[in-house]
Amino acid sequence: MNTAHGTVAPEGVSGENIAFYREQGYLVAPGLFADEEIAALKKETVEIFRGNRGHVEGMLDVEGLPDEEVLKKYVAIHFPNKISPTIHAYLSHPAVVKILTRIVSPNLKCMQSMLFVKGPGKAGQSWHQDEYYIPTRDRSLVGAWIAIDDATIGNGCLWIIPGSHQPGYLFRRVASSSTEYADVDTVDVSGYAKEAVIPVEVKRGSVVFFNGYTLHSSLRNKTTDNFRTALVNHYMSAESMLPWDQDGKLEPTEDLRDIVPVAGVDPYAWKGIVDLNRPYLRPEILKIKTDL
């Protein structure tokens, strides 16, 4: 595997990049966001978790606390774009969209944002495929993982299994008792060789793109003084409908229209757009779509 072909150069996506994404299920774009853009995201993260962009159920009284102490009280917030104009604007960031239109479709929509503030000691996410939670009809789901802090092995960077998207099906989830993860279940990846599992360490401002079927996880933040803040937005082709009920939170639907069109043409624009999802705080122990 030529990992160099998995790195997007400043001049843009190459044919080798596209082939790499199709074969390996991920791409890395170093320094895609400018320093001032990342600084704005970092500042906005604090404002969101201070409640200055609107109260979200479960938020605590943090008046008088320094920024780091505020962020240590949380793990993540889902759909921050619903309350933050800054986050909403970044869904359509031109540099991100330029890459997505090459590897997914010229017609794109975004259906979710997640803002992670994994502070010192906080657990990671177990092995999973995003498509398990966000079902698409054409397998076009892709996550754009924006590093707001440097992501290292020590503070809990992404780990992925290149090529694990190729079978094109959802792997069975089993119970997990690992203290590395906040989740109570995981995909058993013991069948993969140790060298097949790789860390994706990136500098702030970099973006990791990964296919909805690509197995990925993150370990506990083992530092005492580093955050691993990241904004993760999920996209798909506008040609596909989205049969997503938000893990039972919404009424069953063949096509959830709570979306943000970000590029090209929306073939289903005649259906209109709805506003159903609401921001919510991610719990410390994660039980999504499981009876465990």
In tens, the pLDDT along 261-275 reads: 999 999 999 999 999
Binning pLDDT at 50, 70 and 90, where does residue 4 land? confident
**Dihedral (CA of 221, 236, 242, 88) sign:** positive
How many helices (H) does the chain have, and how many strands (E)?
Answer: 6, 13
More confident residue, 63 or 289: 63
Cα separation, 210 vs 160, in Å, equals: 9
pLDDT in the model for residue 132? 96
Token pair of 28, please? 């890395």
Of all residues in the chain, the percent with pLDDT exceeding 70 is 99
Q: What is the pLDDT of residues 152-180, one digit of tens each?
A: 999 999 999 999 999 999 999 999 999 99
DSSP-assigned beta bridge partners for residue 110: 235, 260
Identify the band that residue 2 occupies on the pLDDT scale cut at 50, 70 and 90: low
- The residue behind tokens 């990136």 is 202
Q: pLDDT tens-digit profile of 119-143?
A: 999 999 999 999 999 999 999 999 9
pTM exceeds cut of 0.85: yes
The pLDDT > 90 percentage for the chain reads 94
Rounded distance between C-alpha atoms, residue 25 and residue 21, angstroms: 5
- What is the overall mean pLDDT for the chain? 96
Per-residue pLDDT of 201-230, as tens digits, reads 999 999 999 999 999 999 999 999 999 999
> Please, what are the domains in the chain?
3-281 (2.60.120.620)
Task: Please tell me the predicted confidence (pLDDT) of residue 270.
Answer: 98
- φ/ψ (deg, to 5) at 173: -100, 140
Residue 290 has what pLDDT? 83
Q: Which of the two residues, 246 and 291, has the higher pLDDT score?
A: 246
Amino acid at 177: S
